[in-house]
Amino acid sequence: MTIVEEHRTEIRVQDTVYRIEVAAREGGGAAGEDRWVTVMVGGAGPLEEPVAEGRLDIDAEAVPALATVLSDTLLAFAGRSTGRNGRRRSADRPAQQGLPWTDELDAELESRWLAGESVEEIARRFERTPGGIRARLPRVGCDPERRGAYLPIPPSQREVAEIG
């Protein structure tokens, strides 16, 4: 068994300190190719009394689903089922919403806009919201108000030869 990645977090909430350690490791399967994640949780109150202690060993493929289930369950148990900051995200939100844009995605966005695709078509293709697409268009130089068009160059940035 080999540890391939580790993360440690320590946070203080009032007088209690919580520690979470996550280690991804390979090994354990017949061919030694299985990847597992170990999560260790601990917490101590102001007098060093334990308030949290535990360990989970999870198949790496199950981590996203289990993270959601644990989060929702613990928040519901605590009476805060609406989620972080009192706002619950929609279960049917686009898969790529909120994820960073790459240079390749920006280039494809520009190309699709200039080819005349609508905001809604592009949003479906990129698995993002129409609002996210409209907000990104100016960052790649496209005018979100005129399909297939670039933003105009402001007079202050035009070359002298263009103006005359």
Number of domains the chain contains = 2
The per-residue pLDDT for range 41-61, each reduced to its tens digit, is: 999 999 999 999 999 999 988
Query: Rounded mean pLDDT of the chain?
Result: 84
pLDDT over threshold 60, residue 32: no
DSSP bridge pairs for 44:
17, 50
Instruction: Establish if 157 belongs to a structural domain.
Output: no
pLDDT-based confidence at residue 83 (cuts at 50, 70, 90) = very low
The mean pLDDT of 30-46, rounded to a whole number, is 81
Q: How far does CA 127 lie from the centroid of its chain? A: 13
Place of tokens 């790529």: 96
Report how far residue 87's alpha carbon sits from residue 83's, in angstroms, rounded to the nearest whole number. Answer: 6
Rg value, the chain, Cα:
24
- 44 inside domain: yes
CATH (domain of 41): 2.20.130
Q: Kindly state whether residue 150 falls inside one of the protein's structural domains.
A: no
Q: How confident is the model at residue 84 (pLDDT cuts 50, 70, 90)?
A: very low
Q: What percent of the chain has pLDDT over 70?
A: 85
Q: What is the mean pLDDT of residues 3-24?
A: 89
The DSSP-derived string for 37-104 is: EEEEEEEE-TTS-EEEEEEEEEEGGGHHHHHHHHHHHHHHHTT-TT-GGG-PPPTTS-TTTTPPP-HH
Residue 30 placed within a domain: yes
Give pLDDT, residue 74: 84
Residue ranges making up the domain that contains 52: 2-61
How large is the average pLDDT for residues 67-90? 69
pTM (2 decimals)?
0.45
pLDDT band at 90 (very low <50, low <70, confident <90, very high): low
Q: Is residue 67 part of a domain?
A: no
The answer to whether position 27 is within a domain reads: yes
Residue 123, pLDDT > 90, answer yes
In this structure, are 57 and 107 located in the same domain? no
User: Cα(67)–Cα(146) distance, rounded to whole angstroms?
Assistant: 42
Place of tokens 């670039």: 150
Q: What number is the average pLDDT over the span 119-138?
A: 94
Q: Is residue 109 part of a domain?
A: yes
How much helix, strand and coil, in percent to the nearest 5, is found in the chain? 35, 25, 35
Domain presence at residue 25:
yes
Q: Residues 150-160: pLDDT tens digits?
A: 998 877 777 76
Number of helices (H), then strands (E), belonging to the chain: the values are 5, 4
